[in-house]
Amino acid sequence: MSIQDRYRVEGYHVERGLFSPDEIEQFKSHYEEIRLQERFSDGNVANPSSDDPLKKYPRQMQMHRDDSVSLEFLCDPRIDRVITLLTGISPLAVQTMFYFKPPTARGQALHQDNFYLKAAPSTCIAAWLAVDDCDEENGCLMVVPGTHELPTMCLTKSDTTKSFTSVEVALPEGMSAVPVEMKAGDVMFFNGQVIHGSNPNTSADRFRRSLIAHYVIGDCNAVSKWYTPVYRMDKTIVELEESAGGGKCGDWVEIGDETRIEMFDASDRDLLLLTE
Ligand SMILES: O=C(O)CCC(=O)C(=O)O
């Protein structure tokens, strides 16, 4: 099966060895410097005396807006080439993030990226670069293959002893997330509807760092406001419309032996959870 056919069936694709060992070493030292500068830390600034490893090593967000290494990664021609192959069109770049995920850190409950990006009329796509080798022990990415055809799903509360986010997409019986083992330098590309997340890092001493970029698929004309400015892959800026909040979300409904999806008013469901 070609990689395009597999992506069409499963909604994701892992491109092995897209970044070299030297580049990975440079990213490790660069993002350690960035962490110590505390310019892009998510939420509270790094707190070296906290018991929560995620407070010592907070996720870094939107670094490309003031860091050339991150902007170069976001607009890397290798990423453009793979996404163009998978989707048939060059993407528009909107987000960078760096996760340290130190030993014992919580993971991130199952979710769909387009719940947040609201790229329309199609969806978004992620490029998730493994900066360390990752597997189930250190909390590799988990995906639910084939969920790329789903609408944006409603959210329920997650188990916050395992996840640093408080909401998740629940799965019906018979559907489960599979671990995706990756080596440092591999990049996983996944469509914004794909349900994915990660479990805690249960290793004693292995970080699970990742450098993540998000794009809207090139046919989109709208995205949520937080993701502007939007860049073309040549780093010029393009104006998109601002996606409205709310809308509809899908939920699983049991009808006899069958599980179907019905659409509900999202403002009745998710937004209440998100404000908690
Ligand atoms: O790296 C992880 O553990 C989760 C990342 C993720 O879900 C995302 O980038 O949307």
pTM, entire model: 0.94
175 found inside a domain? yes
Residues 196 and 38: their CA atoms lie apart, in Å, by 28
253 found inside a domain? no
Read off the pLDDT of each residue in 134-141 and give the average, rounded to a whole number. Answer: 98
271 found inside a domain? no
Given phi > 0 = left and psi -120 to 50 = alpha, else beta, which region is 179? beta
210 found inside a domain? yes
pLDDT at 273 exceeding the cut of 60: no
Q: What is the CATH number of the domain that holds 235?
A: 2.60.120.620
179 found inside a domain? yes
User: Could you list the residue range(s) of the whole structural domain that residue 76 is in?
Assistant: 3-151+159-244
Nearest residue (by CA) to ligand 1, atom 4, is 197
272 found inside a domain? no
Residues 187 and 74: their CA atoms lie apart, in Å, by 13
Does 113 contact ligand 1 (Cβ within 6 A)?
yes
Domain count across the chain: 1
Q: Which helix (H) or strand (E) holds 127?
A: strand 124-130
Taking only the tens place, the pLDDT of each residue in 85-130 is 999 999 999 999 999 999 999 999 999 999 999 999 999 999 999 9
Does 190 contact ligand 1 (Cβ within 6 A)?
no
233 found inside a domain? yes
Asked whether the beta carbons of 269 and 171 are under 8 A apart, the reply is no
Check residue 156 and give its pLDDT: 93
Asked whether the beta carbons of 209 and 98 are under 8 A apart, the reply is yes
CA geometry: angle at 213 spanning 182 and 20, to 5°?
Answer: 50
Best mutation site among 100, 198, 202, 214 for ligand 1 pocket (most ligand atoms within 8 Å of CB)? 198
50 found inside a domain? yes
> Which one has a higher pLDDT value, 76 or 270?
76
275: three-class secondary structure by DSSP: coil
